[in-house]
Amino acid sequence: MDFPILSVITFLPGVVGLALLAFPEDKKELIRWTSLIAAIVCMVLSIIVYFSYDIELGGYQFEDRFDWIPAVGISYIVAVDGLSLPMVLLTGIVMVTGVLISWGIEDRPREFFALLFFLAMGVWGVFVAQDMFTLFFFYEVAVFPMYLMIAMWGWKKTREYAAMKLTLFLVVGSLFALIGALAMYSASGLGTFDMFIIQEQAEFTREFQITWFPFVFIGFIVLAGMFPFHNWSPVGHVAAPTAVSMFHAGVLMKLGAYAALRVGVVLLPEGAKFWLPYVVVLAFVNVVYGSLIAMTRKDLKYMIGYSSVSHMGLVVLGIATMNEIGLTGAGLQMFSHGAMTALFFSCIGMVYDRAHTRMIPELGGVMKKLPMVGVAFIIGGLVSMGMPLFSGFVAELPIFMGAWRAGVQGPDFIANYYAWIAIISALAIVITAAYIIRAVSAVFFGPIPEKIEHELTPIRWQDRTAIVILLVSLLALGFYPAWMDTVIKTGVDSVMAVLGA
Amino acid sequence: MEFINNNLLMLILFTPLLGMTAVMLAPNNKGTIARIAFAFSLIPLLLTLYLWANYDFVAGGFQFEVNARWYPSVNAGFHLGVDGLSVPMVLLANLLVPLCILASFNVDRIRGFMALFFILQVGTLGVFLSLDLLLFFAFYEVGLVPMYFLINQWGSPKGKRELSRGRIVPAREYASFKFMIYTMAAGLGLLLAIQLIGITQGTFDLPTLYATWPTSNETFLNFASASTVKTVAFWAFFVAFAIKVPLFPFHTWLPDAHTEAPTAGSMILAGVLLKLGAYGFLRLVIPLFPEQSAAAAPIIALLGMLSIILAAYSAYGQTDFKRLVAYSSVNHMGFVVLGLAVVAWAAGNAVDPTTLALAGAGAVIQMFNHGLSAAAMFFLVGVVYERAHTRNLDELGGGIWQYAPIYGGMLIFSSMASLGLPGLNGFVGEFAIVRGSWPIFTFYTALSMIGLFMTGAYVLKGIRKVLHGPINPHWADHNMEMNVREIAVMAPLLVLMLLIGVWPASIANMINYAIVHLFG
Amino acid sequence: MDFTTFEAAHFLAILPEIVLIAVAALVMFMDVVQKGESRRMMGYVTAIGLMAAMFIGIGFSLPMGDPKLLFGGTIRHDMLGFVFRMMFLVAGAITALITMDVKGLGKRGDFYAVLIAAVIGMNFMAIASDLIMLYLAIETTSISAYALTGFLLNSDRSAESGLKYFLFGAVTSTVMLFGFSLLYGFTGHTNLYGIAEALGAGNVPFVTLIGIAVMILVGIGFKISAFPFHFWTPDVYEGAPTPITAFVSTASKTAGFIVLIRVFIIALSTNSGVAGWLPLMMAIAAVTTTIGNLVALAQTNIKRLLAYSSIAHAGYTLMAFVAFESQPEQSVSAATFYLMTYIATNLLAFAIIIVFARAAGSDEIKDYAGMSRRSPYLAHMMLVAFLSLAGIPPLAGFLGKFFIFKVVVDAGLYWLAIVGAINALVALYYYLIVMKVVYVDPAPEGASKISITRPYQIAMVALTISVIVLGTAATPWYNWAIAGASSLF
């Protein structure tokens, strides 16, 4: 048997989390270093998985399984395909940077890092799970550390409210998705939660698919910040401590989109074909409305929070196009947006830790004191506004092209509005450019307000390392997308085989 | 040598990044950084001269092609190549960058400035070198970013601008924001049209698209016929590049941007970035949309004519020296557009080949020439501003020649070149354009002559206000004369102006072949 | 099914209960001879005795082959009963451990003896297959439980809750007994299988049958604190000594469910009967869950909160139960497994409450503020318990709920699944509120570390591990539940 690399990636964080709890509380440096090393190990493993995936072969690889609760057909199955692979990598990146960024946490760091690792375990688990039960299991594992981390280390003013709101939204979504998944299990008559088998053998009737697709899809897509279920997300971002915001926007929101695609679209393709043209409208609202709200925000975190909503709308739009190119774009956007928001939130965190304010009008001239943060934020902004040669463009282009293709080749009633949606959604890019430019010039340039002038102490080496890691991943994708889009395409191919288009 | 030959375009495109890295790593000393930047900026220039020497213009077509894997899932490649159109543009860009750097030895925060300049150079070169539609667009847009920061951060600090609701913002912020949003918004339509082309043709490769796109007649969208879609796409392209040129009535960002930009920024903006728009017409719009271009040619000519006349009048009305020069750019680019209109017309109508060649080549030569003279003019404005701290023509008051004879000489020389004095470069291009467009757009061309007349008027007004007239004693205790470095910036420009003026064939041959090859 | 005649070997089947009687005797003897601090030892003896009974049970009383009716058909020696007996024994042992340092209880031998008596009663509830036997077992359990609840005679609240428990219990038990008698009257049988046979002949009018079902349901509903017989629960839970609250809310409730399963599924599930009472039961399941969760939202006392949450959990178990018509084995196994997870989780929660109350002297939720700083590990264990109650993986409660949702959806009761889902959300809310107080709110000035004595450490660590094991390596336990369920049919 091969080295079970995916299982190791998944469970190592869990083991580390438990081990951390056994450390003495006051050995803070030891706890931090242990976390960092463990996170680096996980990241290296995920990089290894990413680059040893055989693109020629495609499909699901590194499979690893055992019968978990055979009496009801529950198995533990992990494997990666082209769609989950970038997400596994992204989680590794965000994990390491998250640990680095959280170096300065002085209040109960042991618990903080342990929870961060539990969260990572859940996230990785969802991305590699190929059994519906396993997927749900990890999905919910990922939820509760979020609650505690936001409530314990978050922004004092809103953390309790935000943490609760976030948790309830996510759990209600996942419960509905769970009911949908159980309905699939029961209707398939196969007595298994193995998604491979269900995908191949289940013969769901069209009516069944149309009835249950919304449960599964919407249940998951809540986590992706889909309008009108989005408003937990910016609130959660604002309240969360930096590393959690990074995880939340960077990875967790992708979890929703990924699971909606993997369970919803792939297992219920007829349902997807029926509903997704309506979902497009919601995605479209997401994109435009998110960016409009972002433009009005004065709090940097709110601004990025709403911009996340807008960008995740593009992911959903990409999925909803149901064609190869749009789905590829959705996959790329998940990675790009993940690294980008992680970068944004880490920058904002660094500024906030020093200036103790995130309000755009109260900041200024940060560039002079923290040049690296400024450059990183600007590059993040360029990614965000879809500037070509940055990853945002690489990701958004295929999404729009996918919408066009749906408009060009889709059935009549779809074609008539997909093209318009592509055209109008594109406006969001200009809006995004406007608010990003405004924020950059207000926060990083101009005079430094006296109040914060002496607060802006230099950033630590940990912060710098984190920024560099995120920048490298963003720029690499932007300049040379071929290293990722070919991988994603193999995953998309299998989705397209199911959708039969 | 083998290596250089095989990767020449890659080297030209990416060596500026070498310069950027060097600048970032350089010791923290203003003079050192500036010198390092200058030295590194010469590398692309030398490579370009090598390219110029080795490009076989008689054979024509795309040479030195590079086609690497870039973005396979949308079928966009890293496809570079040059032809007779792009070689002069690459040369222009790589010539102006060292001069701009030389002109900017005194800026503050020089490290960032130089780094941005190199990025800007990559962006511009990328546009001229790309043979892939998506890559073209990528470089086209990415050039905005450094330019935005150059204006926003290194622009003139004094200006104020009142917005609605009485909010006062620094003018450079206003100008840079306007520049960015204008161009991005224009890019948006372009992007959507590019996406449409890519999705229907399945590739972004330009040589392939030249062959397939103009003739493809399938129904793209259910609610619109192919010709409607193409027309809309054409106008999206048109507006994007018209803003960049800038063509009346899309030109309003330009005077703002120029006024606020730092000297080197203005030089590169007028000298190279505006050419991106005209280059876009020649490289993309007309070859990809021949029918639509031909149909729109009269409108293009009309707008070109309006640009010429109105910008000339506007220039005459300015009191700010830099704004005057900025409007003169619009005016000169108007001639380029007039030439382009003929090429566009020829795409769908039978045109005498000489006429086409004259107009087309004239337009390209005019682009090159304007690059030289606009850069020179903006630099000279910068020189006087640096000393007098004002650009107001009335405040300058005149008589500066008295104090600065070299400066005065150079200003007059460049002004004359810009005015189109026979024997200097400006004349060559404008004459060819006018000659070429006369048989086709006789009326517009005739009207443009009025503009030419006004051009003389505003140039002379500028010279009179700055150099001649009653001596302004205020400047007596200022050292108004140029220093050696500044003379070194001007010298190559002046030489080239004269060279092209007296020996147009030095550049015109190559362009002629290219125009005939592309559109003939 | 034949009614085997009496054989001495049949005593093997009830060997654990016989052992328990000996343990009770031992404890009472110790009560007389032990003095001072060493009286605490009686708790260990009880716990070890109960565990010993369990192992003896596994060694000698494991039902092999087909289920058998023993002792003249009064008990049914099957896997289902066996699994429940093991659950009671564990619950009893844990209860003994977490009683040891409770003031006024920990050193009293009679308390432990009554506790053992209650366990014996429950064990017989689990295996009784005859109305007489069943009623005797129920009363053995109930009377012990009344006594335990009111054990702290010098505490008004304990005495009051004991009395309340007794009064409610007596009334509902009488109604149930009346139902039993009618059943006997109409069918002429006291044995459940005999009754089923007689009812199957269709001689009993539909309305009468429903009436009987409702009467029996009153008694069982009281035991499992299902709506509308749940009113006693919060008061009794709050007033009773906390170990007894733990015991009553877990073991006693579970015992109610095994009776429910036996009486309703075996005796009353003729076609016409099911059509009558099953919709009623579905409604009760939905309403019980909802009421429990909604009222729990408003609680400020942790024991009352857990009381209402236990009502909600009863509702969940009922949800599994009501799916039995189309999914008989899945339904019973899901309910059984849910009860396993519930016992482990709830005992853990109550153990923590006892420990905390010893240190802080309060059961108010607001006094839990800053507990994670006073004792991180206690807080972590509380997190495990509460998240398990809320049904979050990788803890036991998640799997429990998962199986319930699964069987409910399999049975096509989508509306019930959605009710369950919404309830899970509400429940999560109030559990998280408590966890917020524990983790986020600052500790009061001068709050000291919380010390945890040895028996509590043993109990809580064992429970924490079992909550995690039940939530992850669930296969053997779930297989037990399935084996039990299939032995019923």
* pLDDT by position in tens, chain B (length 520): 778 888 888 888 889 999 899 988 888 888 888 889 899 989 999 999 998 888 888 887 888 888 888 888 888 889 998 888 888 899 999 999 999 988 888 888 888 889 998 999 999 999 999 999 999 999 988 888 888 888 888 887 777 777 767 677 788 888 888 888 888 888 888 888 888 888 888 889 988 888 888 887 776 666 677 788 888 889 999 999 998 888 888 888 888 888 888 888 888 888 888 889 899 998 889 888 888 888 899 999 999 999 999 988 988 888 888 888 889 888 889 899 999 899 898 888 888 888 888 888 889 888 998 999 899 999 988 888 888 888 888 887 777 787 788 888 888 899 888 888 888 888 888 888 888 888 888 889 888 888 888 888 888 888 888 888 777 777 777 777 888 888 888 889 899 888 888 888 888 888 888 888 877 6
Task: Pick the residue from chain A with its C-alpha nearest to C479.
Answer: A71
Q: Is residue B499 part of a domain?
A: yes
The verdict on B95 and B222 lying in the same domain is yes
Among the partner residues A393, A415, A482, nearest to B72 by beta-carbon distance: A482
Among the partner residues B72, B144, B188, nearest to A485 by beta-carbon distance: B72
Q: Are A326 and A398 in contact, with CB atoms under 8 Å apart? A: yes
SS (H, E, C) B157-205: CCCEEECHHHCEEEHHHHHHHHHHHHHHHHHHHHHHHHHHHHHHHCCCE
Among the partner residues A108, A140, A179, nearest to C417 by beta-carbon distance: A179
B481 touches chain A (CB under 8 A): no
A158 touches chain C (CB under 8 A): no
Interface test with A, best of B127, B195, B260, B276 (most A CBs within 10 A): B195
Q: Is residue C118 part of a domain?
A: no
The verdict on B247 and B298 lying in the same domain is no
Interface test with A, best of B24, B69, B73 (most A CBs within 10 A): B73
Contacts of B200 in chain A (CB under 8 A): 408
Q: What is the pLDDT of residues C333-363, one digit of tens each?
A: 999 999 999 999 999 999 999 999 988 888 8
Inter-chain touch C429–A168, beta carbons under 8 Å: yes
Contacts of C440 in chain A (CB under 8 A): 151-152, 159-160
Inter-chain touch B222–A415, beta carbons under 8 Å: yes
Sign of CA dihedral B284, B289, B292, B297: positive
C380 touches chain A (CB under 8 A): yes
Inter-chain touch C392–A25, beta carbons under 8 Å: no
B69 touches chain A (CB under 8 A): yes
Q: Is residue A58 predicted with pLDDT exceeding 90?
A: no
Q: For residue A160, what are its two tokens?
A: 């309790």
The verdict on B448 and B500 lying in the same domain is yes
Q: Is residue A115 predicted with pLDDT exceeding 90?
A: yes
A412 touches chain B (CB under 8 A): yes
Q: What is the pLDDT of residue A122?
A: 93
Q: Are B406 and B465 in contact, with CB atoms under 8 Å apart? A: no
CA pair distance B220, A404, nearest whole angstrom:
9
Q: Is residue C6 predicted with pLDDT exceeding 70?
A: no
Q: At what angle do helices B133-142 and B144-154 cross, to 10 degrees?
A: 10
CB pairs under 8 A between A and B: 98
The secondary structure of chain C in percent helix, strand, coil, rounded to multiples of 5, reads 80, 0, 20
Tell me which amino acid residue C388 is.
Answer: S
Contacts of A383 in chain B (CB under 8 A): none
Task: Pick the residue from chain C with its C-alpha nearest to A121.
Answer: C394
The verdict on B75 and B13 lying in the same domain is yes
A151 touches chain C (CB under 8 A): yes
Contacts of B174 in chain A (CB under 8 A): none
Q: What is residue B483's three-state secondary structure?
A: coil
CA of A227 to nearest chain B CA: how many angstroms apart? 25
DSSP string for residues in C46-59? HHHHHHHHHHHIII
Q: What is the pLDDT of residue C5?
A: 60
CA pair distance A30, C335, nearest whole angstrom:
45
CA pair distance A215, B448, nearest whole angstrom:
67
φ, ψ dihedrals at B398, nearest 5°: 105, 180
Interface test with B, best of A368, A401, A421, A443 (most B CBs within 10 A): A401
Contacts of B69 in chain A (CB under 8 A): 482
Inter-chain touch A163–C436, beta carbons under 8 Å: yes
- Taking alpha carbons only, the member of C473, C387, C346 closest to residue C87 is C346
Inter-chain touch B191–A437, beta carbons under 8 Å: no
Distances (CA, A) of A140 to A135, A204, A318, C14, C257: 9, 27, 26, 42, 29
Q: What is the pLDDT of residues C148-160, one digit of tens each?
A: 998 888 888 888 8
Structural domain for B501, as ranges? 289-520
Most confident region among A433-447, C318-332, C459-473 by mean pLDDT: C459-473
Q: What is the pLDDT of residue A501?
A: 55
Tell me which amino acid residue C274 is.
Answer: V
Inter-chain touch A388–B73, beta carbons under 8 Å: no
Q: Is residue C129 part of a domain?
A: no
CA neighbours closer than 13 Å in the CB half-sphere of residue B282: 36
Q: What is the pLDDT of residue B221?
A: 67
Chain A (285-304) residues lying within 8 Å, Cβ to Cβ, of chain B: none
Q: Is residue B424 part of a domain?
A: yes
CA pair distance A242, A248, nearest whole angstrom:
10
Inter-chain touch A480–B70, beta carbons under 8 Å: yes
CA pair distance A471, A230, nearest whole angstrom:
27
Inter-chain touch A71–C475, beta carbons under 8 Å: yes
Subunits close to C (at least 3 CB pairs below 8 A)? A
- Taking alpha carbons only, the member of B60, B93, B129, B90 closest to residue B519 is B60
- Taking alpha carbons only, the member of C281, C311, C274, C280 closest to residue C423 is C311
Inter-chain touch C474–A69, beta carbons under 8 Å: yes
Task: Pick the residue from chain B with its C-alpha nearest to A387.
Answer: B142
Residue B401 or residue C54, greater confidence: C54
Burial A21-48 (b: 16+ CB within 10 A, else e): bebeeeebeebbebbbebbebbbebbee
Subunits close to B (at least 3 CB pairs below 8 A)? A
Our measurement of the distance from residue C337's CA atom to the centroid of its chain's CA atoms, rounded to an integer in Å, reads 12
Distances (CA, A) of A168 to A236, A268, C399, C431: 12, 26, 19, 12
Whether chains C and B touch (3+ CB pairs under 8 A) is answered by: no
Q: Is residue C213 predicted with pLDDT exceeding 80?
A: yes
Whether chains B and A touch (3+ CB pairs under 8 A) is answered by: yes
CA of B182 to nearest chain A CA: how many angstroms apart? 10
Q: For residue A254, what are its two tokens?
A: 């992708």
Residue B68, strand partner residues: B78
Among the partner residues B139, B153, B199, nearest to A404 by beta-carbon distance: B199
C398 touches chain A (CB under 8 A): yes
Indicate the number of domains in chain B: 2
Question: If you search the block for the tokens 């730092």, which residue do you land on?
Answer: B262
Task: Pick the residue from chain A with its C-alpha nearest to C410.
Answer: A186
CA pair distance C430, C426, nearest whole angstrom:
7
Which of B218, B247, B272 is the last residue in one of the domains? B272
Helices of type H across C241-270: 242-247, 253-260
CA of A315 to nearest chain C CA: how many angstroms apart? 27
Q: Are C104 and C39 in contact, with CB atoms under 8 Å apart? A: no
Contacts of A160 in chain C (CB under 8 A): 436, 440
**B371 Cβ neighbours under 8 A, 6+ residues apart:** B92, B96, B270, B271, B272, B275
A19 touches chain C (CB under 8 A): no
φ, ψ dihedrals at B438, nearest 5°: -55, -50
DSSP string for residues in C218-243? HHHHHHHT-TTS-THHHHHHHHS-HH
CA of B289 to nearest chain A CA: how many angstroms apart? 20
Residues in chain B: 520
Inter-chain touch C439–A151, beta carbons under 8 Å: yes
Which of B247, B272, B297 is the last residue in one of the domains? B272
Q: What is residue A75's three-state secondary structure?
A: strand
Q: Are A303 and A297 in contact, with CB atoms under 8 Å apart? A: yes
Helices of type H across C298-413: 302-322, 328-360, 371-374, 376-390, 396-410
Which of B224, B239, B272 is the last residue in one of the domains? B272
Inter-chain touch A108–C372, beta carbons under 8 Å: yes
Q: For residue B270, what are its two tokens?
A: 């007028």
Q: What is the pLDDT of residues C266-312, one digit of tens each?
A: 888 776 667 778 888 999 999 999 999 999 999 999 999 999 999 99
Q: Provide mean pLDDT across the span A318-335.
A: 90
CA pair distance A376, A271, nearest whole angstrom:
42
**A292 Cβ neighbours under 8 A, 6+ residues apart:** A431
Q: At what angle do helices B425-437 and B321-348 cross, to 10 degrees?
A: 40
The verdict on B239 and B362 lying in the same domain is no
Q: What is the pLDDT of residues B250-282, one digit of tens each?
A: 888 888 888 888 888 888 888 888 889 899 998
Q: Is residue A274 predicted with pLDDT exceeding 70?
A: yes
B14 touches chain A (CB under 8 A): no
CA pair distance C377, C388, nearest whole angstrom:
16
Inter-chain touch C440–A144, beta carbons under 8 Å: no
Chain A (23-42) residues lying within 8 Å, Cβ to Cβ, of chain C: 25
Contacts of A488 in chain B (CB under 8 A): 73
Q: What is residue B481's three-state secondary structure?
A: coil
Residue B34 or residue A407, greater confidence: B34
DSSP string for residues in A77-96? EEEE-TTHHHHHHHHHHHHH
Q: Are A370 and A340 in contact, with CB atoms under 8 Å apart? A: no
CA pair distance B410, B373, nearest whole angstrom:
11
Task: Pick the residue from chain C with its C-alpha nearest to A147.
Answer: C432
Contacts of A434 in chain B (CB under 8 A): 181
Structural domain for C481, as ranges? 295-489
CA of A301 to nearest chain C CA: how many angstroms apart? 22
CA pair distance B259, C463, nearest whole angstrom:
76
Q: Is residue C28 predicted with pLDDT exceeding 50?
A: yes
CA of A431 to nearest chain B CA: how many angstroms apart? 9
CA pair distance C188, A357, nearest whole angstrom:
81
Q: What is the pLDDT of residue B520?
A: 67
Q: Is residue A1 predicted with pLDDT exceeding 60?
A: no
Inter-chain touch B184–A430, beta carbons under 8 Å: yes
User: What Rg value do the Cα atoms of chain A yield, rounded?
Assistant: 21
